[in-house]
Chain A
């Protein structure tokens, strides 16, 4: 049975581990709702065309460009069906003294910083999904984001450092 949404209305979406109530139109992008309705301004508007990656967030652990997503896709009913798992959005605000942040600081992997939150979320997604990524895979993932200050060499070092720490970390007990 199809679900449908018309006009501006209240919905629940799950962001950074919390259910948040937002008012949105079906045509609102996730980027717009995160920033203007929820005050999560870490995801940056850049090209708003899917090219620059400054708006990258994690959706169920996968890096995605929030300028290309409709926020309505993440709306969950007030009383979800049994067993239904809401899709989980993570923004840069969910990172708190993580290894990827430390590596970006240690390697000075930013200049103006506008693109940094997008790169951090991309790198965090890579750490979780592909901790054993080859140098070629790292470059392939990083091609998704643009840094106009051209800190690319430092960003690559920071991401490689993150993965090396991940691989050398003792397994969870």
Chain B
């Protein structure tokens, strides 16, 4: 049971949602956007969050669509992860999404919620980092589309009142050879020890994005360059590991040394999978 009260709003356009947010914030009602609602419901129950107003985004049609238009795939921010897995418009995103939480919970958790939530793993971001993605945000100053990496550096950079409308990638990026792996320590359904998404771009260059290694997801041009340079797979993996930050997460899921060991195995598997070695 949620021990606080809040008002509930269900706008039908992004502009209406933003205007509502501004009005409710001006009234000091501490509004919160909500799509799947998993974090709001669970954290409000525990007293970790106390919004005065919840603005449900699921009645905004453009936030609930997955479509290919003008040579780009668009993924609405209120689309549940289960839909991305079942319809599989982008195999790499489907492989990453199918390891977030459990099957039933993925019918609740949305793409935007996974990116914008407080739970730091944000694994759905990894494929978008590797695919020249763009992100469209609506806010008090209108709509803005920007490269995904400009808005996401491990966490989303959003001003108060801004909301993510959709993410898009070039259609061709859905066909890049790709690799996904999630290693967990305690159970199959769990937060990641390490989650990796990797692609081989048309020039043969390997790009990798990570979750679970640092307090937030990360990627590194230097690591990708080391992984893609000439040499034996073992030498390339060794050089890439040298580009990992020196301080990896130490927690219940594993020590930093264990995470480094798992990374070595995963990178070796990724090279073998993507290059057929």
B15 CB to closest chain A CB (Å) equals 11
Q: Which of A86-143 contact B (CB under 8 A)?
A: 122, 140-141, 143
B1-40 interface code vs A (CB 8 A; 1 in, 0 out) = 1101111111110001100100000000000000011100
Contact B8 A26, beta carbon cutoff 8 Å: yes
Interchain CB contact under 8 A, B10 and A2: yes
* Interface: A72 (CB within 8 A): yes
Interface residues on B, range: 20 to 34
Contact present for A50 and B42 (CB under 8 Å): yes
B7 contact from A26, A29, A49, A65, Cβ within 8 A: A26
B104 touches A64 (CB 8 A): yes
Q: Are A27 and B104 within 8 A (Cβ)? A: no
A25, A50, A67 interface centre (most CB from chain B within 10 Å): A50
**Which residues from A are CB-within-8-Å of B20?**
2
Among A27, A63, A67, A122: residue with most chain B CB under 10 A: A27
B105 touching A144, Cβ below 8 Å: yes
Q: Closest CB of chain A to B86's CB: distance in Å?
A: 9
Instruction: Please indicate the chain A residues that have their CB under 8 angstroms from the CB of B16 in the complex.
Output: 1-2
Task: Give how many A-B residue pairs fall within 8 Å (CB-CB).
Answer: 93
Decide: B7 and A5 in contact? CB cutoff 8 A. yes
A145 to B42, CA, bound (A): 17
- Kindly report which residue of chain A lies nearest to residue B108, judged by CB atoms: A68
Q: Indicate if the CB atoms of A56 and B104 lie closer than 8 Å.
A: yes
Contact A26 B54 (CB under 8 A): yes
> Which chain B residues (86-107) contact chain A, with CB distance < 8 Å?
98, 101-105, 107
Which chain A residues in 58-91 approach chain B with CB under 8 Å?
62-65, 67-70, 72-73
Q: Could you tell me if B56 and A64 are in contact, using CB atoms closer than 8 angstroms?
A: no
B273 to chain A, nearest CB (A): 19
Contact B104–A73 (Cβ < 8 Å)? no
Q: Find the A residue at minimum CB distance from B41.
A: A68
Of B17, B38, B104, the most chain A CB neighbours within 10 A belong to: B104
A3–B35 alpha-carbon span in the complex (Å): 15
* Inter-chain contact B103/A143, CB cutoff 8 Å: yes
How far apart sit A33 and B36, CA to CA, in the bound complex (Å)?
19
Residues of chain A within 8 A (CB-CB) of B258 are: none
B10 touches A29 (CB 8 A): no
A81 to B16 CA separation, bound complex (whole angstroms): 20
A58 vs chain B, min Cβ distance (A): 11
Chain B residue contacts of A154, Cβ below 8 A: none
Q: How far apart are B30's CB and chain A's nearest CB, in angstroms?
A: 13
Asked, given contacts A63-B107, A143-B189, whether A29 binds B56 with beta carbons under 8 Å apart, the answer is no
B225 contacts the other chain (CB 8 A) = no
Q: Distance in Å from the Cβ of B29 to the closest Cβ of chain A?
A: 10
Q: Is the CB of B103 within 8 A of A140?
A: yes
B199 to chain A, nearest CB (A): 24
Instruction: Verify B8–A5 contact, CB threshold 8 A.
Output: yes
| CB-defined contacts of B188 to chain A, threshold 8 Å | 143
Q: Does A168 contact B (CB under 8 A)?
A: no
**Mask of B117-129 contacts with A, CB within 8 angstroms, 1/0:** 0000000000000
CB within 8 Å of B: which of A25-53?
Answer: 25-29, 32, 48-50, 53
Are A29 and B103 in contact, with the CB atoms below 8 A?
no
How many Å from the CB of B122 to the closest CB on chain A? 17
Known A6-B8, A69-B108, A145-B104; 20 more pairs at CB < 8 Å:
A1-B16, A2-B9, A2-B11, A5-B7, A7-B5, A27-B2, A48-B1, A49-B42, A53-B102, A62-B107, A68-B36, A70-B41, A73-B58, A122-B104, A140-B98, A140-B103, A143-B102, A143-B188, A143-B189, A144-B102
Q: List 11 A-B contacts (CB under 8 A).
A: A2-B9, A2-B20, A5-B8, A7-B5, A65-B108, A67-B41, A69-B37, A70-B41, A140-B98, A144-B105, A145-B104
Top 6 A-B residue pairs of the complex, sorted by shortest distance between their CB atoms: A26-B8, A144-B104, A2-B11, A144-B102, A6-B7, A27-B2
